[in-house]
Structure 1
Amino acid sequence: MNSVQVAGRSDKVVLVTGAGSGIGAAVARKLAGARGLVLADRDLAAAEHVAAPLANARAAEVDVSDPDRVDWLVAGIERDYGGLDVVVHAAGVDDPQAKQWIADAWEAGRPPEVTAALDVRSWRRVLGVNLDGTFHVLRAAVRVMVPRRSGAVVVVGSSSAFDAPAGYPHYSASKAGVHALAQAVAKEVVPFGVRVNVVAPGPTETGMAARTPDALRRAFSESGGGAYATPEEIADVALFLAGEGASNLAGSVVLANGGRFTV
């Protein structure tokens, strides 16, 4: 899939969050050739590594859970490039400790017991990055796009919002909130020429997957889940949603899980 066609010509200014790895990095690589390409990640070195070989790309250190930092980032893009055309928001976190508890329970042949042991700090971390961070990015983006009556935002959600895996309440809740938030904002801004859509991946070979205990990966395989998606496969869906070919899509949640389940 040609990156210029997906981005809607090389005159676009694009922001990718979570661009230092996984789906965000795959999206960024497919956007080589955009007029302006800003790769944001809380790991600046990782974002710089992805940006280095890409034309017109620059990296920025941003934790999306910090609203002031997100506003600073988008204000700088508007100042330097004169606007912002596309945002792909791929930044997010999981909870490796909860995954380990689930894996231990599966190997022991018992149901997981996570909620009672889940501390407030872990809850707030996952909700703060995944849900609050999405609000911060959406708010900053529409502040720039609505006055210009143009723009596309794609948010990376999760299939976990639908199947709500046992023992993963905070992650599932955060992604369900992301979907509802994006859809509500989509209805609000579509009259102003701005489209917001969601891609909801199933298990994907990212850094998060690398931290998934082997027991959980075996459980997924034995349940008929099939192979994990590649980041590039999910990136293609995200860039379709951002592109001109999806001009009639707004508020959609595209389930990209290889047919593991449907809704």
Structure 2
Amino acid sequence: MGTRAAAARFMGKVAMVTGAGSGMGAAVARHLAAEGARAVVLADVNGDGASAVAKQVLAGEAVTLDVAEAAAVDTVVEDVVRRHGRLDIVVHAAGVDDPQAKQRLADALVDGRRPAVTDSLDDASWRRVMRVNLDGTFHVLRAAVRAMQPFGAGAIVVIGSSSVFDTPVGIPHYAASKAGVHALSQSVAKEVIASGIRVNVVAPGPTETGMAARTPQALRAGFSGPGVRPYATPEEIADIALFLASDAAANLVGAVLLANGGRFTAA
């Protein structure tokens, strides 16, 4: 794609990005603005982080948002439509993992023990991951569909995970939450394409985000090696998300694009 075409890819569009205070969400927001979006709403539970990124984004607006809170999601999306007249693009990048589970896995690897996480996984840890990752995705999808349906058009891109396919040992709650995200997104995609709304998923593998920075080195080493690409950059994943949000992906509906650097393949 030529430079002029790329610059105009999202000309005049109104976009909202969740998890935009860092990592993939921040990269998506910056790229949307650079490619012509007239408004980019950066939503993040860390309002200060969203504000810091918004200062780097032309037409960027920061808002504090916990996607696990349904009413808050509805309010933010309704406000975007009220102020800008419509909502054309949503990229949902907000999500959490479980640092304690990761640490238990790393300790087991270092000690040469069999990993044991499930028997010590408490209800609060399970619910936290499910509330943000799965419930949050439902809240964002529902609000985005409500906002886009009157206009008969829209693109929604959800950040899933390659863990859905390789189901790594020791993070059953994270893998299950993201599997739910994929299935939810694909089901909604089949429903709303009749309204002109496209829903697709990016399933990243290891990516250099704040979440990855908190991953113990013993686990990081397991994802590295000469046979695979290095950890992806947030910008590389953002490029895939924005392709799905663009008109170039008009025939992709309910797709899950696996972006894991060659660590495995899936049909």
Q: What range is the shorter-chain TM-score in?
A: over 0.9
Structure 1 unmatched ranges of 5 or more: none
Structure 2 unmatched ranges of 5 or more: none
1:109, distance to aligned residue in structure 2 (A): 1.6
Of 55, 58, 80, which residue of structure 2 is paired with 1:55? 58
1:223, distance to aligned residue in structure 2 (A): 8.7
1:8, distance to aligned residue in structure 2 (A): 3.4
Of 61, 86, 90, which residue of structure 2 is paired with 1:87? 90
The separation in 2 between residues aligned to 1:16 and 1:222, in whole angstroms, is 32
The separation in 1 between residues aligned to 2:13 and 2:5, in whole angstroms, is 9
The separation in 1 between residues aligned to 2:223 and 2:64, in whole angstroms, is 34
1:260, distance to aligned residue in structure 2 (A): 1.0
Q: Is it true that 1:153 corresponds to 2:160 in the alignment? A: no
Contact 2:10–2:246 under 8 Å retained in 1: no
The separation in 2 between residues aligned to 1:99 and 1:72, in whole angstroms, is 34
Q: Is it true that 1:132 corresponds to 2:109 in the alignment? A: no
User: What's 1:11 paired with?
Assistant: 12
One-letter amino acid of the structure 2 residue matched with residue 193 of structure 1: G
The separation in 1 between residues aligned to 2:149 and 2:6, in whole angstroms, is 23
Contact 1:6–1:243 under 8 Å retained in 2: no
Alignment length (residue pairs): 263
Distance 1:45-1:3 versus aligned 2 partners, 3 A rule: farther
Contact 2:24–2:235 under 8 Å retained in 1: yes
1:217, distance to aligned residue in structure 2 (A): 1.0
Distance 1:217-1:9 versus aligned 2 partners, 3 A rule: closer
Matches within 5 A, 1:1-263: 5=6, 8-32=9-33, 33-222=36-225, 224-263=227-266
The separation in 2 between residues aligned to 1:18 and 1:115, in whole angstroms, is 28
The separation in 2 between residues aligned to 1:172 and 1:7, in whole angstroms, is 37
One-letter amino acid of the structure 1 residue matched with residue 12 of structure 2: D
The separation in 1 between residues aligned to 2:142 and 2:175, in whole angstroms, is 22
CA deviation string 1:191-234 (max 9, x = no partner) = 11000000000000000000000111112225944410000000
Distance 1:18-1:77 versus aligned 2 partners, 3 A rule: same
1:10, distance to aligned residue in structure 2 (A): 1.7
Query: TM-score under structure 1 normalisation?
Result: 0.97
The separation in 1 between residues aligned to 2:152 and 2:248, in whole angstroms, is 18
Contact 1:15–1:39 under 8 Å retained in 2: yes
Q: Between the two proteins, what is the percent identity of the paired residues?
A: 64
Contact 2:77–2:144 under 8 Å retained in 1: yes
1:180, distance to aligned residue in structure 2 (A): 0.2
CA deviation string 1:86-114 (max 9, x = no partner) = 00000000000000011111112222100
Query: TM-score under structure 2 normalisation?
Result: 0.95
The separation in 2 between residues aligned to 1:231 and 1:7, in whole angstroms, is 22
Contact 1:16–1:90 under 8 Å retained in 2: yes
One-letter amino acid of the structure 1 residue matched with residue 218 of structure 2: A
1:7, distance to aligned residue in structure 2 (A): 7.4
Q: CA RMSD in A?
A: 1.6
Contact 1:4–1:34 under 8 Å retained in 2: no
Distance 1:84-1:4 versus aligned 2 partners, 3 A rule: farther
CA deviation string 1:134-184 (max 9, x = no partner) = 000000000011121100000000000110000000000000000000000
Distance 1:172-1:74 versus aligned 2 partners, 3 A rule: same
The separation in 2 between residues aligned to 1:200 and 1:245, in whole angstroms, is 19
Contact 1:6–1:240 under 8 Å retained in 2: no
